[in-house]
């Protein structure tokens, strides 16, 4: 869908041209565009304030049918996220106008105080991400995504950054895939179905992929995962994906929480807390989609991903508060609360990848705690790790992709709260305070000497309301971050 174009506006026929404009300075060198912007500003129709827009039809001296000026605000306040959002908004507008193709004029190099490749990357991300719709369940599809979005740049830039469009497209397709999985209703993504959806996409991307069935999971000793799945007729699965890179020496393991619906189990959630609990597999979705994107991006590192997939339901066969189970690692766990199921399935998956693949780095993504949302709100993820370099790398990648992460503490003395009188550890803290921290400390008991970070995405994985480049529902949070991060590890 994405491509560069270099067109002479006087001659090249263009249906719709989007032109971002700053309020305080000219950011385009093209004379025709400069003249149009000047005219708009002169008539006080438009001054380039943020979110302002104005449309010109067939401006004289061009072969363009319509030019849409979009305001960016003051030039020194423009950051990559401003550009991503502007491009996303532009695409949404074109979709509403039932267009097939859009051209977006990139600001000229050095007119905005941003690294040029970063700027065009952000613009292309906005174009691609804004073009994603989730309408699979609508009888009447009101809108169609655009077929093509061109970023207008100088011919030498198009040549220099020629590989960018397909890379950005692969990454954004990963984000879209994760969004689709998260937004999908839980009756269509029972563990076996979700596992098969991942398998099909992974095989198509030529990743090594396999699904463990219940029998194998029992033999392998996934006691914690099976305990969480005990209440549902829809039996759990474990999906393992591998991306292998020739000559790579490092292995990074990714683990993603894949609860296809979290009712809370016997500790049933109150009804309003259950509303969006189809999103409790967002960690698995992000990790799987990132690996699928990596198959195209080809980073020079081995990556293995484990996704424990399960439905947390109450029933006569469900696990009870008070049950003691034996986890994959051998540690016994007392179930203090069946709604703290994420840490149980992650514990097994983390111990499994550590033992089987001996990774140098292990990162898990999980919609783990409501407490993390209380702490950081709905747009920022919590990062928990003792490794300063890893924390820094994650936070930096999150800044770049605007999937914001904030480092949280992991105080060892809080482990006290996870003591059980009867088992090696309890899955439930003894107080209700600091729940995101105790959850992370619980996980830390299942990694030995691997460098490890946990990212709690309970807030940003899902959005009740859409924004400039993401519709309501799954956000695909983490996919772009992981694709950026993997090159730095």
Least distance to Zn ion from the beta carbon of 185, Å? Answer: 17
| 371 touches ligand BES by CB under 6 A | yes
Which among Zn ion, ligand BES, none contacts residue 337 (Cβ within 5 to 8 A by kind)? ligand BES
Q: Which of 354, 410, 199 shows the shortest CA–CA distance to 292?
A: 199
SS (H, E, C) 375-428: HHCCCCEEEECCCHHHHHHHHHHHHHHCCCEEEECCCHHHHHHHCCCCCCEECC
Q: Which of 428, 447, 482, 486 binds ligand BES (CB under 6 A)?
A: 428
Q: Measure the CA–CA gap between 339 and 348, rounded to whole angstroms.
A: 17
Q: Residues 160, 269, 320, 326: which is the catalytic one?
A: 269
Least distance to Zn ion from the beta carbon of 300, Å? Answer: 34
The residue at minimum Cβ distance from ligand BES is 370
Q: Are 360 and 435 in contact (CB under 8 A)?
A: no
Q: Measure the CA–CA gap between 124 and 2, rounded to whole angstroms.
A: 7
Least distance to Zn ion from the beta carbon of 258, Å? Answer: 10
In the complex with Zn ion, the residue whose CB is nearer, 121 or 262, is: 262
Contact track, Zn ion, 200-239, x by CB under 5 A: ----------------------------------------
In the complex with ligand BES, the residue whose CB is nearer, 273 or 467, is: 273
Which among ligand BES, Zn ion, none contacts residue 458 (Cβ within 5 to 8 A by kind)? ligand BES
Across 179-208, b (16+ Cβ under 10 Å) vs e yields bbbbbbebeebbbbbbbebbbebbeebebe
Half-sphere exposure of 322 (CA within 13 A, CB side): 2
Q: Are 476 and 178 in contact (CB under 8 A)?
A: yes
Is 269 annotated as catalytic? Answer: yes
φ, ψ dihedrals at 463, nearest 5° = -130, 125
| Total length of the chain | 489
Residue ranges in 253-282 that form contacts with ligand BES under rule CB under 6 A: 262, 280
Identify the burial level of 348 via C-beta atoms within 10 angstroms of its C-beta, where 0-12 means exposed, 13-18 middle and 19 or more buried.
buried
Q: Tokens 């979290």 sit at which residue?
A: 262
Q: Measure the CA–CA gap between 283 and 257, rounded to whole angstroms.
A: 5
The one segment of 37-45, 144-152, 340-348, 446-454 that binds ligand BES by CB under 6 A: 340-348
In the complex with Zn ion, the residue whose CB is nearer, 75 or 263, is: 263
In the complex with ligand BES, the residue whose CB is nearer, 18 or 381, is: 381
Contact track, ligand BES, 373-402, x by CB under 6 A: x-----------------------------
Binding-site size for ligand BES (CB under 6 A) equals: 16
Q: Tokens 């097994």 sit at which residue?
A: 348
| 417 touches ligand BES by CB under 6 A | no
| 262 touches Zn ion by CB under 5 A | yes
Which among Zn ion, ligand BES, none contacts residue 370 (Cβ within 5 to 8 A by kind)? ligand BES
- Determine the Cα angle at 292 with ends 179 and 477, to 5°: 35
Which H or E element spans position 265?
Answer: none
Q: Residues 93, 189, 201, 343: which is the catalytic one?
A: 343
Q: Measure the CA–CA gap between 71 and 477, rounded to whole angstroms.
A: 27
Q: Which two tokens stand for residue 272?
A: 């309003």
Q: Which of 296, 332, 337, 450 binds ligand BES (CB under 6 A)?
A: 337
Q: Which of 20, 48, 265, 435 binds ligand BES (CB under 6 A)?
A: 435
Q: Which of 370, 400, 415, 444 binds ligand BES (CB under 6 A)?
A: 370
Q: Which of 62, 75, 367, 426 binds ligand BES (CB under 6 A)?
A: 367
Half-sphere exposure of 183 (CA within 13 A, CB side): 24
Strands 451-456 and 361-366: parallel
In the complex with Zn ion, the residue whose CB is nearer, 393 or 461, is: 461
Q: Which of 80, 165, 342, 382 binds Zn ion (CB under 5 A)?
A: 342
Which H or E element spans position 104?
Answer: strand 101-105
The one segment of 110-118, 137-145, 369-377, 382-390 that binds ligand BES by CB under 6 A: 369-377
Q: Which of 339, 348, 445, 484 binds ligand BES (CB under 6 A)?
A: 339
The one segment of 91-99, 247-255, 366-374, 392-400 that binds ligand BES by CB under 6 A: 366-374
| 484 touches ligand BES by CB under 6 A | no
**Distance between terminal CA atoms of the chain?**
30
Residues marked as catalytic:
269, 343
Contact residues for ligand BES, defined by CB under 6 A: 262, 280, 337, 339-342, 367-371, 373, 428, 435, 458
Contact residues for Zn ion, defined by CB under 5 A: 259, 262, 280, 339, 341-342
């Amino acid at each position: 869908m994405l491509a560069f174009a270099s067109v002479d506006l006087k001659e090249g026929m263009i249906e719709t041209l989007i032109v971002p404009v700053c309020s305080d300075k000219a950011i385009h060198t093209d004379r025709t565009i400069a003249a149009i912007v000047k005219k708009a500003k002169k008539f006080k129709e438009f001054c380039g304030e943020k979110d302002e827009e104005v449309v010109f039809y067939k401006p004289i001296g061009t072969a363009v049918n319509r030019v849409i000026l979009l305001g960016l605000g003051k030039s020194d306040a423009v950051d990559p996220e401003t550009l991503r959002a502007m491009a996303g908004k532009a695409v949404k507008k074109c979709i509403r106008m039932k267009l097939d193709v859009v051209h977006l004029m990139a600001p000229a190099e050095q007119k905005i105080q941003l690294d040029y490749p970063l700027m065009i990357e952000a613009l292309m991300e906005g174009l691609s991400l804004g073009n994603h719709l989730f309408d699979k369940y609508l009888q009447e599809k009101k809108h169609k995504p655009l077929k093509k979005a061109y970023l207008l740049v100088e011919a030498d830039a198009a040549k220099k950054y020629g590989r960018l469009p397909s890379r950005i497209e692969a990454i954004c397709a990963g984000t879209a895939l994760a969004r689709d999985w998260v937004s999908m209703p839980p009756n269509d993504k029972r563990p076996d179905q979700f596992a098969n959806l991942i398998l099909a996409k992974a095989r198509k991307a030529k990743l090594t992929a396999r699904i463990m069935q219940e029998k194998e999971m029992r033999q392998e000793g996934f006691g914690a995962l099976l305990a969480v799945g005990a209440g549902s007729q829809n039996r759990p699965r474990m999906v393992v994906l591998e991306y292998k890179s020739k000559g790579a020496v490092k292995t990074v393991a990714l683990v993603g929480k894949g609860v296809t619906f979290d009712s809370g189990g016997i500790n049933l959630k109150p009804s309003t807390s259950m509303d969006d609990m189809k999103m409790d597999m967002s960690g698995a979705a992000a990790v799987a989609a990132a690996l699928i994107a990596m198959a195209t991006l080809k980073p020079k590192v081995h990556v293995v991903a484990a996704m424990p997939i399960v439905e947390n339901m109450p029933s006569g066969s469900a696990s009870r508060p008070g049950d003691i189970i034996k986890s994959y690692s051998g540690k016994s766990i007392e179930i203090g609360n069946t709604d703290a199921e994420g840490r149980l399935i992650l514990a097994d998956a983390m111990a499994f990848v550590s033992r089987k693949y001996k990774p140098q780095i292990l990162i898990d993504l999980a919609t783990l705690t409501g407490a993390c949302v209380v702490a950081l709100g709905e747009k920022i993820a919590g990062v928990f790790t003792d490794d300063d370099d890893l924390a820094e790398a994650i936070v930096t990648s999150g800044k770049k992709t605007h999937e914001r992460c904030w480092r949280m503490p992991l105080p060892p003395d809080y482990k006290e709260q996870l003591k059980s009188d009867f088992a090696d550890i309890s899955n439930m803290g003894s107080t209700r305070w600091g729940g995101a921290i105790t959850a992370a400390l619980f996980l830390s008991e299942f990694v030995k000497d691997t460098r490890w970070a946990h990212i709690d995405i309970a807030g940003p994985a899902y959005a009740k309301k859409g924004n400039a480049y993401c519709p309501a529902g799954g956000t695909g949070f983490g996919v772009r971050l992981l694709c950026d991060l993997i090159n730095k590890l």
